Structure 1
Amino acid sequence: MTGEPPEPALRGEWRVSHADRDAVVERLNNAAAEGRIDLDELDARLDRALTAKTYADLTPLTADLPPEAPPAPRQPLVVKGGLHGATRAGRWQVPARITAYGGLGGAKLDFTQVVCQLPEIELDVHGEAGGVTVVIPDGWIAETGGVDPGLGGFRDKTTSDRLPGTPLVRVTGTGGMGGAVIRHPNAWERRKLRREQQR
């Protein structure tokens, strides 16, 4: 006897990695965006994906989905506040480049519930009249030296404590008249996140 554990007889018994779970999470989000599964089912499958231990746990979550086409290059995301404002929040696909315009109603980008494997995100903000608010999770950091404060100003309320595997958000642009801010979640947002996680 060598004392080594026996090899699993089937691939399904092998332990999965963080990358394996994240790949399934991304596929499920894409399927929901295409209308293949509804939001309730998405939430249920995401919960199972994030707690999966083996390939046998993960495989059923995408077994009824067609094979994915090779990924197209990700286009920059443009968020425009317009007259009534615009918000990106919850679980959403984060591209490597984002441009946010405050418009008259303001724009908000909330990254606190996203799954993001990118090492870096380029974020170009233009506060205009309504302003731009960016909320990043604890453990993410921002580089904001390339922002012109404009008339409304620019505030960086983030910490410099970066967790391994989290992206750097490189911010450029201008605060405009309405100003721009990048920060971590406030007390109300933290309570909301805890309620979401308990569902």
Structure 2
Amino acid sequence: MTSEPGRRPLRASDADREEVVEQLREAAAEGRLDMEELDERLGLALTAKTVAELAPLVEDVIPAQDLPAGEPLVIKGGVHGQSRVGAWKVPARIVAHGGMGGVTLDFTRTSVRHKVIEVEANGSVASVTLVVPEGWGVDTDGVHPGVGGLWNKTKGEQRPGTPLVRVTGSGGMGGVYVRNPGLLQRRKLRRELES
């Protein structure tokens, strides 16, 4: 892509560089880059002056973010409940039905390739609970509270480069709960990163 005459290339921010560094590290962890390539690209990312210099560093290892949404992941709590925790790949769309046992979607250790994650949450008899990392955006304007209510306990503003979780649906009888990781979960995640 060439820039228009008279227009200067957009300067890269620290957040832009940090996002590319994280994407490169993740690509290396998945085996898409060897250590030599990772070191070379990290050096280039950390010294990049413009956004145009950053883009080629990840375009061959990170899938495009505007891929078609495809079929949604449907999770039904049923009688015993269902959950998605740990390292799981998050699709662009999720439909969660609390049923009698409830549904928990924990995004704290996930692999996310989408700028927006659409979650249709229906509380049914039991609740639908979403656990999102601090700094992610959350939009719950599309949720009808129902009898169980809507509880958004997330803190802070959305950080640049993080996904937006857009929640729609109904609280039903069990409610819809959105929160950040609790103290014990944050400590566990910190220990895992340090080891």
Q: What's the TM-score, normalizing by structure 2?
A: 0.67
- Is 1:179 paired with 2:175? yes
1:114 counterpart residue number: 110
2:56 counterpart residue number: none
Q: Which runs of 5+ in 1 are unaligned?
A: 1-15, 29-44, 56-70
Which stretches of structure 1, 4 residues or more, deviate above 3 A after TM superposition? Answer: 16-25, 71-74
> Contact (CA 8 Å) 2:97, 2:128: kept in 1 or not?
yes
Structure 1 residue identity aligned to 2:39:
K
Task: Indicate the percent of aligned positions where both proteins have the same amino acid.
Answer: 47
In structure 2, what is the Cα distance between the partners aligned to 1:149 and 1:190?
A: 28
Note the C-alpha offset of 1:53: 2.3
Note the C-alpha offset of 1:193: 1.7
1:144 counterpart residue number: 140
Structure 2 residue identity aligned to 1:132:
V
In structure 2, what is the Cα distance between the partners aligned to 1:196 and 1:19?
A: 19
Structure 1 pair 196–153 and aligned structure 2 pair: CA distance change class (3 A): same
Q: Give SS of 1:53's match.
A: helix
> Contact (CA 8 Å) 2:81, 2:100: kept in 1 or not?
yes
- Is 1:125 paired with 2:111? no
Note the C-alpha offset of 1:158: 1.3
Note the C-alpha offset of 1:101: 0.9
In structure 1, what is the Cα distance between the partners aligned to 2:121 and 2:68?
A: 25
Structure 1 pair 73–154 and aligned structure 2 pair: CA distance change class (3 A): closer
Q: What's the TM-score, normalizing by structure 1?
A: 0.66
Structure 1 pair 136–23 and aligned structure 2 pair: CA distance change class (3 A): same
> Contact (CA 8 Å) 1:117, 1:165: kept in 2 or not?
no
Q: Which runs of 5+ in 2 are unaligned?
A: 1-19, 42-66
Give matches, 1:32-181, under 5 Å: 52-54=38-40, 74-181=70-177
Structure 2 residue identity aligned to 1:148:
H
Note the C-alpha offset of 1:79: 1.2
CA RMSD of aligned residues (A): 2.7
